[in-house]
Chains A and B, each alone.
Chain A
Amino acid sequence: MKLNRKQQPEFKNIENINIPVPEKINLDNGIKTYIINAGTQEIIKIDIIFNAGSWYQEKPLIATIVNEMLIEGTKSLTSQQIAEKLDYYGAFIHPNPTKDFGNITLYTLKKYLPETIKILDDIIKNPIFPENELKTFLSKRKQQFQIELEKVTNIARREFNEQLFGENHPYGKKTKLKDYDLVNRKDVIQFHKRLYHSENCKIILSGKIDDSDIKLLNQYLGSKDWSIKTEAKSLNFDITYQPKMESFVEKENVTQSAIRLGKIIINKAHPDYHKLNVVNTILGGYFGSRLMKTIREEKGYTYGISSVLVSLKHAGYLVILSEVGANVAKNAITDVITEIKKLREEQVSQKELDLVKNYMLGDLLRSFDGPFEISASFINIIDLGLDTNYYDKAIEAIRTITPNEIILIANKYLQEDTLIKTIAGKYN
């Protein structure tokens, strides 16, 4: 039989996506803990998520400093001793401060968990933020910050967030260079005391887990000696800001400009979100998206462009972002707007929709392929306090959405004149 190379071999639509539901337990002190037992390697990851992002800080930088400096010294170990031990066991502790949370992640070989969890426990409960370490940290960070500010993509991000949320809102506020000189160690210690305690966190344990690992976790982080019995006071901020619909930050001598377009939009907690996510994927959520096709593959304006839905705890936003040739920034923005208009006005073909659906289902398979992928997929769901059946609903929405619904959703959420535009670099 002659091989027909023109014809795609028969393929199956993805029918079953096995979404493991994390097992939920409470440690002895009440910390909600999610357990994901999967994978083939003798490896463990522990994520601890504190409600301690920059949302909760009263002065600039404090939330980040606390999160990143936990490893810089405790009552019993110096910064160097902590680093030595972790490196010796081939373990990693990654701080990850965000707007809403202070996350700490430990990656460790299972056989060294007894040693490494002890360090994790110590840095969370007993950090001392030594004065000299703080000084070094700040002067180093101040320089790195200045370097980051040279990048058009960062200039655009800062301006865009400020326009979205306003300069006084924790999601919109820009860090300034002088902030690095005004940090007070007392505020750092106080922030840790106020927010890094057992009533203010969740834990996700993933990898090859058995009872002895859970027992160890309970023995350390499940202990009752780090409770302060107060909930973090939930601050509220209103977004009352009137944004400039278009803002431009000039930077000399650039070959590319960074562009961002977007708006405040629903987050994962909203029932329309799953469908909006399909619309966003068509627009700019995968390599074959309309924005990639037009702005990269037809016009050659950029190396890449994407459209992202960001779900924060207290808000969500859409951002379309790219770095484009400095002399075509205007054209690129016009093309983005045209693509959005098309989504609102013209029905997507069944062929394109089928492709996007299959791609998204395949992507979900990838998001659950392996213990750390599973935990990464659940972390945001758990953070937002959503039910673990979130992904079942996502699959349902992907499978059932119709071309008509796409037009409806696009018209409801993506009116072009509601988009804020930010350009950094050149714009003419």
Chain B
Amino acid sequence: MNLPIVWHVLGWIMTLEAGFMALPCAVAVIYGEESGWYFVWVALLELLIAVPLIVNKPRSNVFYIREGCVATALGWIVMSVMGCLPFYFSREIPRFTDALFETVSGFTTTGASVLSDVESLSYCMLFWRSFTHWIGGMGVLVFLLTVLQMPGGSRMNLMKAESPGPTVGKLRPKVRQTARILYAIYFVLTVAEIVLLMAGGMPWFDSVTTAFGSAGTGGFGIKNDSLMSYSPYIQWVTAVFMTLFGVNFSFYYLLLYRKWKQAFTFEEVRTYLLIILAATGLIILDLRHVGLAPADTVRDAFFQVSSIITTTGFSSVDFNLWPETSRTVLVILMFIGACAGSTGGGIKVSRFSVVFKTMFKELHSYVFPHSVRKIKVDGKSVEHEVIRGINVFFLTFMVLFTLSVLCLSLEGRDLVTNFTAVAATINNIGPGLELVGPTGNFGLFSDFSKYVLIFDMLAGRLEMFPILVLFYPPTWRDTLRRRRA
């Protein structure tokens, strides 16, 4: 393990975070809030730690996937720990575990909160909370790659570790250009949403934070009732943008370069939109007895579906009170998640479609035992390695999920709460059902359960293995051995 280069990357991550903290400072200045100072102190602290790490250039440029995973996982942990300090020092979130949970939930774009009264936070803290979504949505390391000139092999391995999806597709030959294009699309879409929200009469602070929440598919609201009290127009805009951010960003790239044919035959995006349509239809049917106006039903159904499948977690209605079929549909959507290569979490549509195709292939082989059939996506056959990776991902996901539910059950709450609490965190959604529903929060769990959920959120965001590698002893064996020698 080439640890010096990992430290070097960590140094840059902290510098970057310190830079990002300038924004909440600016908000504090605008609203004249004292608590803005905490961001200054934490930023300085980060720079103090980071500068020696950056100045100390690593001797070797060896950077394999192992270094990529460790740098990414440690990077996210360090970033979360540092990012929670303003909340903790300012006593606005008085307990460290809570502050950390809130920040991890922010960076991983989960949006699960431990706070019962969000509105009591100061503006700069609220802003930082939502801003962490925006940073975490596309990823810090991807951002780092747009500005830093890293040695050759490291770029791809960092991007691989951080980007969601079974395979990482580069848009351009260089990682740097790819990262820039991704961030440009991300930025433009975010600005578009802010403008449209403000056009609907939403105050600027609310528009910006809501846009951050939906761009990163995070879901931290700045109101206790999420988006329930905003106008239908704002809810529509948010719902549509959530869907947009759940689309594979390669799609926008194809549109940008006028590759229409490829764009409109993009299998994953089509399946994703189809699922949204089907789920919305199903819920509308299920809600027809509730007695709302048809327009409201359609909006509520679409908003919730869009929010859950993209793993954002905003709510325009307390869906915990919906009939059982609708609730079940939402829970299923939690697992499906958004497209690979988007800012959303979950298992991802592309993985599901490959798994279904594998299933049918297996069925086919029962009828024609000697048949040979290649699984194809977008007309191209999928390599066996990729399919194997997807299957292993599924298994790992299940194992981690089951163990987490078991850990939570030790506290003796009901299964639906525990099950959806884990589902909502490991898939980076936010609210679950029952006690952790849209109007509830995660504050009721013990510290132990919170750490389990923090682990789930990170594992979910980084898609299991980068985080698991960190806890796998052989990763560290050679490093420790050399130390001792």
Q: Do A and B bind each other?
A: no
**Which residues of A are in contact with B by a Cβ distance under 8 Å?**
none
**Which residues of B are in contact with A by a Cβ distance under 8 Å?**
none
